[in-house]
Structure 1
Amino acid sequence: MKDFFGRGRPLAIAMWDFSWLERRGPGEGFEDWDKAVSELVERGYDAVRIDPYPQLIALSDTGSFALDPVWEACGWGSIKPITVSNVLENLLEFLRVCQKHGVLVGLSGWFRHKESDSYVSKLKMPEDFAQIWIDLLRKIESAGLYDTILYVDFCNEFPNWLDCAPKGENGAPLPRDSAETTAWSNRCIEAFKAVFPQMPVTFSISSEFYRMEREDYGKWDFLEPHIWMNSDGDGRFDFTLRREGRIYDGQDFREGMAASKALYEESPEYWKMVLRTQIAHFASFARSRDIPLVTTECWAIVFYNECGLDWAWMKELCEVGVQEAVKTGCWAAIGTSNFCAPQFPGMWADVAWHRALTDCIHGKAE
């Protein structure tokens, strides 16, 4: 399983979500793609996961789209409304930069843009949804960049974020283990694989892990669970609040994160044990299904940011997560945190820390 991607070792992967395109202003981290990718390589990473906006490219290669922020306090994506244009051209240029530096790219769709909601919701058939990915891969292939793509994650944290996923009478997505959702995801994969049979595919997941035993992963090439120390259902780390169900409020966020650190420091060995237990569970499940694991969002707590907060305890937990995942031998690609990106200088600036963890992933410090 360690060599699922055929690179001779597990890969170290970072998550750059939609930030690669939305945070291009001065000081936002991605104003210079060549510099950002060069620094990624300096830190020992092999790959990066991004949102290529397949739904926007399906609407128009060259159009302009107004993007609203998803998180006010977190640093993923723009923290203010912006407009992006020529998304395909930007994507291809970013892929060229990655190709230049030998960095592989995992594609993952968030489908978070309000202007595309109505379009995506009209994709009634899973084959229609697969087609927007097929069309995107064909454009990437035509540009000579197909070999830069590591995998396709059809939907981030499926079935959340996806308006065309099967829904119940209340309008909420049906559970992943429902017959309808299982059939939908399998048909999507079948349609895509009919055109690109060699491209590894998955749907990443982040919740309701108790359903995994009942789920059919027969057509998935690998599992991409997002695993955090506080995803065990304990609830005590859920300090961040929503305002009107839309975005996170900055002051509540800062207070919550400070409280999170205090809670962790009351019993750090306990919380490390909680994380280790979850990793062991996923490894056991992967062995039982003979399926590789990839994890790109992970280890400490889900939300954090700069705003004067201490990163030491977060890094401590991330070290535990990486080391435990490596020990299992079940992961084909491993992230080091949710914050392995230049807009998080508290995490990004420590080159030696990143190198130690990517060396561990590569088997140099097991």
Structure 2
Amino acid sequence: MTDDHDTAPAPAPRYLGAGAEAAAHRATLTGPVPEHLPQRLTITLWDFSWYTRAEPGGPFADLDAACAQAAALGYNTIRICAAPLLLFSGLEHEGQSLDDLAADLEIEGLGASPHGGFFGQRTRWYDTPGGYRIDLRARLLQLFESAECHGLVVILATWEYQQSPAYARSSAWFEAIDAVPMADRYALLGASWNRMLAFLTDAGHRDTIALVELHNEVDFSILPPLGEGADAGTGGAAEVARLRQAHPDLLVTASYGKPPHLAMHQVPDGLGAAQFHVYSYGVLDALQKLVDIRSEGSADFPNAMLSSLLVQDAPTPAEYGRAAEWKYRATVVTDQMIYGYDWLDADAWDTWLYSNYGPYREVMEREIESRVIAIAEWARWKSVPAVVGEGWIGYTPLHGTFEEGPVGRALAEHGIRTALDHGVWGMVLCSNAAPHHPMWADEGWQRRMNAEILGGPGT
């Protein structure tokens, strides 16, 4: 006689809050990368500063030395504004060709202030004293030669419809590209990239190109939405597709400053990589709103809160003066931010952030984690490599140390480790970890984190 208990089926396993299936291991890359490129990219963000901060004694005065230092710190990738419109668009302004301008480009920055010094002197990226000329096409070749000498690859991007032309003394670069109708700007970028890629290929540098971005942060630039005109085969996404077809051996994409993390299906199809940025402003955003520093034309600027954070001898905005008006049209950064960051007491700024960070800590950690995962899962769905080309907190004053300090480093480490665990191909340590920022001096942390990336899961 058979015991019923001997033949009864085993009870189904219970999954308490974990779902019906265990999550798949996600450390493998989200999509394939060319075999000749590193299996992880650890990126230092040189943006346009590799040509706007090349003054004597500046961080990029000696490109070979800058590349050597990046390699010594463990980086294998630099991300730059390659200025394709200036170098290869063929545009003119009032009879002056951009080709001629690029061959003898005078760098000014935002210019001298009547109060002394120069505008932007205590901001990040705008602390450009200028006062020199360069042949930008020759300098681009020099950059590639130095990168190859030191084992680095290059991400090609452009900030031209966001801010790069504002650093030139002449307005011709900005006025020429600004005269192009909005609907035609992506096509101009595509044609210019085609010519630049041919130029770099003829010079023997094609294998050093890690990624090509149609434009940096299309959502924060003077450009139409990337997906606009897709049904008619026009617009940014269509231009990315054409470049990919013309250069099937290269990864081609466009980057977002704030991708739609909660609705990633809104990102248009056809991108060759998910090069998206992950900033969690959190407590920084709270302070920026209190001091009204990102606006322009505020009647009560500087307000009482901002005034309490300024150095004692700060001039009024009227006393400080303004850069040439065209420079404000050429950049997405406002005059209020330039004035505020130039005259903030950096210690007072940091003290407020540290004092108020507590309630924001968990949400900032979760925001970084969830955004990285959203990017990685979208990339895995599309079978393309994922890259975090900028991150992690946001735009701080030049001498503010909140992001370079223990809080900022911890948030960066959290983002980096989340990215590694979810198969992200390339990442910055921090947007501020570059020769033109004070964080570059923290050599031990950079070496340690770069080693962790290059030895991370899936490599």
Common topology (TM > 0.5): yes
- The verdict on how the C-alpha distance between 1:208 and 1:225 changes in structure 2, with shifts beyond 3 A counting, is closer
Equivalent pair of 1:301/1:314 in contact (CA under 8 Å): no
Question: Is 1:216 matched up with 2:309?
Answer: no
Equivalent pair of 1:18/1:77 in contact (CA under 8 Å): no
Q: C-alpha separation between the residues in 2 aligned to 1:73 and 1:49?
A: 23
1:307 Cα shift?
5.3
Question: Is 1:74 matched up with 2:123?
Answer: yes
Select which of 441, 448, 453 maps to 1:349.
Answer: 441
Q: C-alpha separation between the residues in 1 aligned to 2:368 and 2:259?
A: 16
2:215 match: secondary structure: coil
Select which of 38, 46, 49 maps to 2:68.
Answer: 38
1:277 Cα shift?
2.4
Equivalent pair of 1:151/1:200 in contact (CA under 8 Å): yes
2:425 match: secondary structure: strand
1:320 Cα shift?
1.1
Q: C-alpha separation between the residues in 2 aligned to 1:150 and 1:261?
A: 38
1:41 Cα shift?
0.9
Q: C-alpha separation between the residues in 2 aligned to 1:261 and 1:308?
A: 10
1:343 match: secondary structure: coil
Select which of 110, 115, 137 maps to 2:197.
Answer: 137
5+ residue gaps, structure 2: 1-28, 89-97, 111-118, 166-170, 298-333
Structure 1 vs Structure 2: percent identity of aligned residues? 21
1:154 Cα shift?
1.3
Select which of 176, 182, 199 maps to 1:119.
Answer: 176
Question: Is 1:317 matched up with 2:317?
Answer: no
Q: C-alpha separation between the residues in 2 aligned to 1:105 and 1:24?
A: 18
1:190 Cα shift?
3.7
Select which of 269, 288, 305 maps to 1:238.
Answer: 288
1:66 Cα shift?
4.8
Report the residue type matching 2:49 in the other structure. Answer: S
- Structure 2 counterpart of 1:22: 52
2:201 match: secondary structure: helix
Equivalent pair of 2:228/2:235 in contact (CA under 8 Å): no
- The verdict on how the C-alpha distance between 1:55 and 1:258 changes in structure 2, with shifts beyond 3 A counting, is farther
Q: C-alpha separation between the residues in 1 aligned to 2:454 and 2:81?
A: 25
Q: C-alpha separation between the residues in 2 aligned to 1:86 and 1:8?
A: 31
Report the residue type matching 1:192 in the other structure. Answer: L
Q: Deviations over 1:202-235 (max 9, x none)?
A: 1110125255322322x2110111101227x994
- The verdict on how the C-alpha distance between 1:284 and 1:304 changes in structure 2, with shifts beyond 3 A counting, is farther
- The verdict on how the C-alpha distance between 1:273 and 1:78 changes in structure 2, with shifts beyond 3 A counting, is same
Report the residue type matching 2:451 in the other structure. Answer: D
TM-score (structure 1 length as normaliser): 0.84
1:258 Cα shift?
4.1
- The verdict on how the C-alpha distance between 1:304 and 1:312 changes in structure 2, with shifts beyond 3 A counting, is farther
1:5 Cα shift?
4.1
Select which of 343, 356, 359 maps to 1:263.
Answer: 356
Superposition CA RMSD, Å: 3.0
TM-score (structure 2 length as normaliser): 0.68
1:185 Cα shift?
1.4
Report the residue type matching 1:142 in the other structure. Answer: D
- The verdict on how the C-alpha distance between 1:159 and 1:42 changes in structure 2, with shifts beyond 3 A counting, is same
Report the residue type matching 2:175 in the other structure. Answer: S
- Structure 2 counterpart of 1:361: 453
5+ residue gaps, structure 1: 167-174
- Structure 1 counterpart of 2:218: 158
Report which of the two structures shows the higher radius of gyration computed on alpha carbons: 2
1:31 Cα shift?
2.0
- The verdict on how the C-alpha distance between 1:18 and 1:78 changes in structure 2, with shifts beyond 3 A counting, is farther
1:44 match: secondary structure: coil
Q: C-alpha separation between the residues in 1 aligned to 2:456 and 2:379?
A: 24
1:146 Cα shift?
2.0
Q: C-alpha separation between the residues in 2 aligned to 1:189 and 1:282?
A: 19
Equivalent pair of 1:63/1:85 in contact (CA under 8 Å): yes
- The verdict on how the C-alpha distance between 1:65 and 1:56 changes in structure 2, with shifts beyond 3 A counting, is farther
Question: Which stretch shifts more, 135-144 or 64-73?
Answer: 64-73
1:248 match: secondary structure: helix
- The verdict on how the C-alpha distance between 1:184 and 1:311 changes in structure 2, with shifts beyond 3 A counting, is same
Question: Is 1:248 matched up with 2:338?
Answer: yes
Question: Is 1:328 matched up with 2:455?
Answer: no
1:313 Cα shift?
1.9
1:253 Cα shift?
7.7
Select which of 33, 40, 55 maps to 1:4.
Answer: 33
Equivalent pair of 1:176/1:211 in contact (CA under 8 Å): no
Question: Is 1:187 matched up with 2:238?
Answer: yes
1:158 Cα shift?
0.5
2:46 match: secondary structure: strand
- The verdict on how the C-alpha distance between 1:294 and 1:141 changes in structure 2, with shifts beyond 3 A counting, is same
2:78 match: secondary structure: strand
Q: Deviations over 1:311-346 (max 9, x none)?
A: 2221121111111111111x111111011112223x
- The verdict on how the C-alpha distance between 1:82 and 1:221 changes in structure 2, with shifts beyond 3 A counting, is farther
- The verdict on how the C-alpha distance between 1:296 and 1:273 changes in structure 2, with shifts beyond 3 A counting, is same
Q: Deviations over 1:91-111 (max 9, x none)?
A: 111111111101001111000
Q: Deviations over 1:216-259 (max 9, x none)?
A: 22x2110111101227x994253571465335222348354543
Q: C-alpha separation between the residues in 2 aligned to 1:194 and 1:222?
A: 14
Q: C-alpha separation between the residues in 2 aligned to 1:42 and 1:301?
A: 26
- The verdict on how the C-alpha distance between 1:30 and 1:289 changes in structure 2, with shifts beyond 3 A counting, is same
Which portions of structure 1, spanning 4 or more consecutive aligned residues, are displaced by more than 6 angstroms? none
- The verdict on how the C-alpha distance between 1:256 and 1:5 changes in structure 2, with shifts beyond 3 A counting, is farther
- Structure 2 counterpart of 1:169: none
